[in-house]
């Protein structure tokens, strides 16, 4: 088949800072999916986009072309409205685990098609796979059944059919230093979410050292871009900007985070995890037509826990099975008396990853029990020798590298530390 364009010409347009026409974008995404545009050509184009950016129209067209590269799911036939949440990824971000059953307990279906972790941010599927028997891969029929007549919540692997162009491109970006780019992140996330077919979408855009977006301005730009893409595609979309300068909650790691999520579902858990879970649930329920719902009550009275147990069992898991534990632990102790000044999210995320909770390459296995437990947070008074963190791993030779990543955090001095008033920093709605 003869091709209407030459990849070199399309790359040159973006290299020279010009605007790609719709036909260029449609062709390059389609030809890349078919293997006609090569990985090295797409890498060059991704770098040109990284350096020169895209207009709002280019981003929308790029997103649409990626959606059209695969199948679209359609939940409009379900007896329940649908609402989904997407987080841009952080350290200790276990919110999906309690949020999906919580929202489903109000009769709103939650189709959480998730991914695995790469690098220092953990993946929701890796966390749930710590539960004995739990299965991430479901057929489309199983997803529809669980959403329509089952628990109402599904957390599973996104099938290969959704936005296949993005799957190829995301792997390439990971290897070519082109991940942290607003047009590419926004189109990547939103192509999958729009193709998934959720009725409404709440975005949790993380800000701080443990997030892609290190500054509020950058996070705002990403959130606005994604909200506009969703709104323009007819998906009711809103974003919360939330703090990721310290880890979320008191655990980082797979089984450790499942344990903490179950505490939240039992009406307990750390304040920041509960605050964010409730804030996101309110947004999802309001978007699905229930602005007056009280999600905090459903955590307290066990309704959300009931849905969690059903959801885990529907996917083959045993909600009562003991969770795996790492074979070895080592404590990180306070080196002085005083006030803990910092607990850097990136440093803790890298430590957890090096302990075996995360993977460096897509095909690497993860350890279910590995990770970090947190015993003190910035602003806490500590005494010399007190336990600040507990490191968990199955391979004790990993402790040294994990400790290295903590070398520039956990400072202690007499200076007072302003407590964080809220994990939610800002809300961005569709125009
Ligand atoms: N998550 C995605 O799915 N895509 C990105 O580009 C970044 C985070």
Residue whose structure tokens are 């590995």: 370
**259 Cα to the center of ligand 1, angstroms:** 26
User: Please, which pLDDT band fits residue 1 given cuts at 50, 70 and 90?
Assistant: low
Q: Please write the tens of the pLDDT for every residue from 329-375.
A: 999 999 999 999 999 999 999 999 999 999 877 778 899 999 999 99
The answer, yes or no, to whether residue 187 has pLDDT greater than 90, is yes
Q: Following DSSP, what letter does each residue of 84-136 receive, concatenated?
A: EEEE---SS--HHHHHHHHHHTTT-BEEEEE---BTTB--HHHHHTTSTT---
| Contact partners, residue 315, CB within 8 Å, separation at least 6 | 128, 134, 135, 136, 138, 146, 154, 155, 156
Does 163 contact ligand 1 (Cβ within 6 A)?
Answer: no
Cα angle for residues 81, 184, 202 (degrees, 5° grid): 25
> Order of strands across the sheet with 328-333?
251-253, 371-374, 387-393, 328-333
pLDDT of the residue at 419: 82
For ligand 1, atom 2, name the residue with the nearest CA.
189
**185 Cα to the center of ligand 1, angstroms:** 5
Q: Is 200 helix (H, G, I), strand (E, B) or coil?
A: strand
Q: Is 55 helix (H, G, I), strand (E, B) or coil?
A: coil
> How far is 270 from 413, CA to CA, in rounded Å?
25
Does 428 contact ligand 1 (Cβ within 6 A)?
Answer: no
Q: Please write the tens of the pLDDT for every residue from 20-77.
A: 999 999 999 999 999 999 999 999 999 999 999 999 999 999 999 999 999 999 999 9
- Tell which atom from ligand 1 comes closest to the C-alpha of 188: 4
Report helix angle 182-196 to 164-175, nearest 10: 150
**397 Cα to the center of ligand 1, angstroms:** 32
> Order of strands across the sheet with 424-429?
83-87, 200-207, 236-243, 424-429
For ligand 1, atom 1, name the residue with the nearest CA.
189
* Residue 55: both structure tokens together: 């207009």
Does 113 contact ligand 1 (Cβ within 6 A)?
Answer: no
């Amino acid at each position: 088949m003869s091709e209407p364009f030459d990849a070199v010409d399309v790359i040159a347009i973006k290299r020279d800072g010009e605007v790609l026409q719709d036909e260029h974008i449609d062709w390059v995404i389609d030809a890349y999916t078919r293997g006609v545009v090569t990985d090295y050509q797409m890498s060059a184009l991704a770098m040109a986009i990284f350096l020169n950016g895209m207009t709002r129209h280019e981003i929308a067209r790029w997103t649409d072309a990626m959606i059209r590269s695969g199948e679209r799911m359609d939940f409009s036939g379900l007896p329940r409205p649908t609402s989904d949440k997407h987080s841009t990824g952080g350290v200790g971000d276990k919110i999906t685990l309690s949020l999906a059953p919580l929202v489903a307990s109000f009769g709103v279906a939650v189709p959480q098609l998730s991914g695995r972790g790469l690098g220092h941010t953990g993946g929701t599927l890796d966390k749930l796979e710590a539960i004995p028997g739990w299965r991430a891969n479901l057929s489309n029929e199983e997803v529809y059944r669980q959403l329509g007549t089952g628990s109402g919540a599904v957390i599973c692997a996104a099938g290969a059919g959704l936005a296949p162009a993005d799957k190829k491109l995301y792997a390439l970006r990971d290897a070519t230093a082109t991940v942290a780019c607003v047009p590419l992140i926004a189109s990547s996330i939103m192509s999958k979410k729009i193709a998934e077919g959720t009725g409404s979408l709440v975005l949790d855009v993380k800000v701080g050292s443990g997030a892609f977006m290190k500054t509020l301005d950058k996070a705002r730009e990403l959130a606005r871009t994604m909200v506009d893409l969703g709104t323009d595609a007819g998906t009711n979309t809103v974003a919360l900007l939330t703090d990721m300068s310290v880890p979320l909650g008191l655990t980082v790691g797979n089984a450790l985070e499942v344990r903490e999520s179950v505490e939240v579902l039992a009406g307990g858990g750390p304040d920041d995890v509960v605050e964010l879970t409730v804030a996101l649930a309110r947004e999802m329920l309001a978007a699905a037509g229930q602005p007056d719902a009280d999600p905090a009550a459903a955590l307290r009275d066990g309704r959300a826990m009931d849905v969690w147990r059903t959801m885990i069992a529907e996917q083959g898991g045993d909600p009562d099975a003991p969770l795996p534990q790492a074979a070895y632990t080592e404590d990180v102790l306070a080196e002085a008396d005083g006030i803990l000044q910092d607990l850097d999210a990136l440093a803790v995320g890298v430590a957890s990853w090096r302990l075996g909770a995360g993977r460096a390459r897509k095909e690497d296995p993860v350890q279910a029990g590995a990770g970090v437990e947190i015993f003190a947070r910035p602003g806490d008074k500590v005494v010399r020798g007190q336990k600040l963190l507990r490191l968990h791993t199955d391979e004790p030779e990993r402790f040294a590298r994990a400790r290295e990543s903590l070398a520039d955090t956990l400072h202690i001095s007499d200076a007072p530390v302003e407590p964080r008033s809220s994990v939610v920093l800002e809300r961005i709605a569709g125009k």
